[in-house]
Amino acid sequence: MTARTLAPLWMILVALTTGCTTTNPHAIDDAGLVDAGADLPVARDAQRSSDLSHGPYPLVLVHGFFGFEQLARIDYFYGVRQALQADGHRVFVPEIDPINTTAVRGPQLLAAIERILSESGAEKLNLIGHSQGGIDARYVAQRIPQRIASVTTIGSPHLGSAVADAALGRVPSIALSLLQALSRGLGTIFGPVEPSDLRAFLQSISSENMARFNSQHPAIATIAYYSLAGRSAMAPNAGRCQVNAPAFVSRYDDDLDPVATPLYVSSRIAPQPNDGLVEVEITRWGRFLGCVPADHWDQIGQLFGDSPGGDNGFDHVAFYRGLANWLVAQGH
């Protein structure tokens, strides 16, 4: 990614130039919720209806580890909320702990979702989670299945991460160096990361812990589950990535993605293909919609919406717009 080498300075520069304020025109309440459609007219045609007792239902974007709704003027899902709003979708973006386990983040998200349901009048919601946000979304779906229409996860480690296992000592010879490399890499993207916080997160997505989580949070028959993965390090659309993908995914079949420098070490440890942190094999939950040529940060347009690099034509905003419209077409 072209701007990644400047990443260590981004949080400092943004804070200094903005005073950590926001110019978001949509109100942010004390629960950290943003209703991106609050000041929109009723959507045209079949995109959105004033009757929220049936689909299409509002969208909820759930951020991952070290995530945020909006920090200063930077959106975690960079530019996505605004694009979906412009298309007529009603979008909510809850903010939960940026660094914590799903045992903590899950209940926080549940409280936020219950408030969204109450204030919006919607019968159901579509949850779209990136990375750990997808695991948190599953936590919520298990507890209020009658209020969730669909759960879509992007780059989420459902079956437990090989990178997490290695960093936690399953591969002792590389555990310490990998943990340090991950701390530096994530710090490059998002600012300082304490090794103790990173270790707690990695434990929550380890193979052992995710096996336990999956036994306690099986798929609910009344909810539609969809999953997507990223392929980076110039991995082609082959092998486990080859499925009957919808058009908003298959349009990128011929594109290749160079992995971001901070993710290079972990990309060499995770089984191929992977997105620099999460291997394709562990992202599958429900109907697998395929792989996009995007590393873990390209999937949300970070940093600052920059190009994925090289000749890669992946456009994260177009991807989310396609996903949202596809969910509508499925009746959600």
Phi, psi of 70, deg, nearest 5: -150, 125
Residue 274 has pLDDT above 90, yes or no: yes
Identified catalytic residue from 26, 63, 158, 296: 296
User: Is pLDDT above 70 for 331?
Assistant: yes
Residue 17: band (very low, low, confident or very high) from pLDDT cuts 50, 70, 90: very low
Split at pLDDT 50, 70, 90, the class of 118 is very high
- Dist. CA 152–CA 285, nearest whole Å: 9
Catalytic one of 131, 150, 183, 267: 131
Higher pLDDT, 212 or 55: 212
273: left (phi over 0), alpha (psi -120 to 50) or beta: beta
| Sign, Cα dihedral of 242, 244, 248, 254 | positive
| Angle formed at CA 292 by CA 330 and CA 155, multiple of 5 degrees | 80
- Confidence band, pLDDT 50/70/90 cuts, at residue 214: very high
Predicted confidence (pLDDT) per residue in 74-85, tens digit: 688 999 999 999
Strands 59-62 and 91-92 come out as parallel
Residue 128 has pLDDT above 90, yes or no: yes
Confidence of residue 217 (pLDDT cuts 50, 70, 90): very high
pLDDT number for residue 205: 87
Identify whether 183 is a catalytic site residue. no
Tokens of 91: 């979008």
Q: Which residue has the tokens 């949509």?
A: 26
Q: What secondary structure letter does DSSP report for 194? A: -
145 vs 51, more confident: 145
Superfamily of domain 4-329: Alpha/Beta hydrolase fold, catalytic domain (3.40.50.1820)
Give the rounded distance of the alpha carbon of 9 from its chain centre. 23
275 is catalytic: yes
Percent of the chain whose predicted confidence (pLDDT) is above 70: 71
Lowest mean pLDDT among 74-78, 217-221, 327-331: 74-78
Per the document, the length of the chain is 332
pLDDT interval class at 70 (50, 70, 90)? very low
Residue 213 has pLDDT above 90, yes or no: yes
The 3-state secondary structure of 123-179 reads CCEEEEEECHHHHHHHHHHHHCHHHEEEEEEECCCCCCCHHHHHHHHHCHHHHHHHH
Does 227 score more than 70 pLDDT? Answer: yes
pLDDT category of residue 191 using cuts at 50, 70 and 90: low
First vs last Cα of the chain: how many Å apart?
A: 34
Domain limits, the chain? 4-329
Distance CA 240, CA 246 (A): 16
- Higher pLDDT residue, 206 or 14? 206
- Given 165, 257, 275, 315, the catalytic residue: 275
User: How far lies 136's CA from each of 111, 173, 214, 290, 325, in Å?
Assistant: 12, 32, 12, 21, 23
Is 181's pLDDT higher than 50?
yes
pLDDT reported for residue 21:
30
Least confident of 8-12, 78-82, 145-149, 190-194: 8-12
In whole angstroms, what is the distance from residue 109 CA to residue 128 CA?
A: 12
Residue 27 has a pLDDT of: 31
Q: Structure tokens of 195?
A: 């090794």
* Active-site annotation holds for 158: no
pLDDT-derived band at 19, boundaries 50, 70, 90: very low
pLDDT score of 53 more than 90: no
Tell me the C-alpha to C-alpha distance, in Å, between residue 21 and each of 18, 73, 96: 6, 7, 18
Residue-wise DSSP of 221-254: TTSEEEEEEE--TT--S-GGG-S---HHHHTTTT
Q: Using DSSP, state whether 34 is helix, strand or coil.
A: strand
